[in-house]
Amino acid sequence: METQIKAEPGVKVIKQDEILKLLIPGEVGAVLELIVKDKDGKVTDNRVMRSKSFVRQFLELLWVVMNDLPTSVTFNVRDTSNTLRDLENSYTTFRCDGAAGVVTTGIIVGTGVVAPTINDFAIGTIIAHGVGAGQLQYSDTIIASAASDATTSQVTITRNFANASGGAITVNEIALYVEGSTGYFMTIRDVIVGGILVPNGQTLTVNYREQVVV
């Protein structure tokens, strides 16, 4: 799969009807968009829904950064290996621009169907990167420039998953992993009711559109 170029930082104002709106005023959250395309680029499935499942690590990491914790004061946050990591501000980031083939950071997909809880720390059953049975090819994770209209500001995080496994694969869960100097941390985990089928030779595009609304 072709490696894509990361987006340059920036903020742009866009038309009101160009931002997908599922949140209400006063909310901070995310819109999850799933698109399946065949080898000719034809859309075979397209779903848009609210992301319902930010987990506790999202606010714990944000709290560490906001408090600018010094090295003498640390805070435990559980990473994706189920290990509590001592964090202070200089070791805390929200970096999620995982490169092609990387399954430790960025948007991650899996086959687990257990409903999310606030204490989830990792995806249930990860789909590995590759072309073998049950595997999908992970592209770069792309982070678009921040965008806003009259009521909503958003950042879109995108990743493609190509199926060259020889058989159809159903994606049931989607997560966003971020990277810190001491480990990797899950911030969102969504379970898709009924899953989304990715036939052999087709590609799933996942967009997480993190938003704030006034």
- pLDDT tens-digit map of 107-158: 999 999 999 999 999 999 999 999 999 999 999 999 999 989 888 899 999 9
Domain-located, residue 17: no
Answer whether residue 160 is part of any domain. Answer: yes
Query: Token digits for 91?
Result: 């070791």
**DSSP-derived secondary structure letter, 18:** G
Of all residues in the chain, the percent with pLDDT exceeding 70 is 88
Both structure tokens of 42:
């034809």
Please check whether residue 159 lies inside any domain of the structure. Answer: yes
- Copy the structure tokens of residue 127: 């789909």
Under a CB-based contact definition with an 8 Å cutoff, are residues 57 and 186 in contact?
Answer: yes
Report the number of distinct structural domains present in the chain: 1
Categorize the per-residue pLDDT at 19 as very low, low, confident or very high, splitting at 50, 70 and 90. confident
Give a yes or no: residue 171 inside a domain. yes
- Host domain of residue 200: 28-213
pLDDT at residue 3, as a whole number: 38
Structure tokens at 107: 């948007």
Please state, in angstroms and rounded to a whole number, the distance separating the CA atoms of residues 60 and 62: 5
Residue 40 is assigned to a structural domain of this protein: yes
| Residue 191, SS3 per DSSP | strand
Q: 113 lies in a domain?
A: yes
Give Rg (Cα) of the chain. 17
CB 15 within 8 A of CB 149: yes
Amino acid at 106: G
1 domain residue, yes or no: no
pLDDT value for 6: 41
Distance CA 198, CA 37 (A): 9
Higher pLDDT, 101 or 213: 101
